[in-house]
Copies of this chain bind each other. A is one copy, B any other.
Amino acid sequence: MSTGRKVDFWFDFASTYSYLAAARIFPLGPEEAADFRWRPMLFGAILREQGYTTSPFNTQPAKGRHMWRDVERRAAGLGIRVRRPETFPQGSLQAARVMLVGLEEGWANGFAMAVFASEFQHGLDIESPEVIAACVDLAGGNGAAAMSRGASAAIKERLRIETATATAAGVFGAPTFVVDGELFWGDDRLDEAMAWRRGDHPLQIARQGR
């Protein structure tokens, strides 16, 4: 049920763990789902601010190997299908901009799920305008019109602002959940973020008991 407490779900379309989180949030019942704000960001820009030029999964081969195996193991536990795309990470700029159009027009969450599935279930290239336009159509928007709006100066600027907002909120990884200023990093913290939203996280309970 809706608690009135909103959860900011910061994600990047290039991120495998963002996909795992999206695939769990998307099928929530309507009242719970309504508490989630899907907020695309450019995690690459945040990484660059931290001094990285590419994904640590690429610069640290052992970490990269573990990530793919970990995603495979977690996906099996969560009942989520996953397939490794040929290119990783993929550029998420175009998809993130079109997502902002979808947030204004009301088809954003379905679009996001279609993009993640295209990339991590079907191995498609989300840098392809055709793939992104098809995802818009699938979600109930107008693909051609959304691609055009997504390339506007206003949307470009809005994505920069959103990414800066994420950084200012303390976001340093994807996905991140923020509830009442409480920040949870990683798909594997979704259950804790949900508990915080309900008010029954063990740390909240421990403090009430004092």
Contacts and interface: CB of A to CB of B under 8 A. Distances in A.
A67 to B, nearest CB: 9
Interface in A48-85: 50-51, 59-60, 62-63, 65-66, 69-70, 72-74, 76-77
A132 interface: no
Interface stretch (A1-9, A15-23, A200-208): A200-208
A185 B65 CA distance: 11
Interface bracket on A: 20 to 34
Contact of A188 (B51, B62, B73, B188): B188
A72 B201 CA distance: 12
Contacts of A65: 170
Q: Is the interface of A mostly helix, strand, loop or mixed?
A: helix
Contact of A73 (B74, B76, B171, B201): B201
Given A62-B170, A65-B170, A76-B202, 4 more contacts: A51-B59, A69-B182, A73-B202, A76-B203
A70 B185 contact: yes
A156 interface: no
Interface string A154-177: 000000000000010011110000
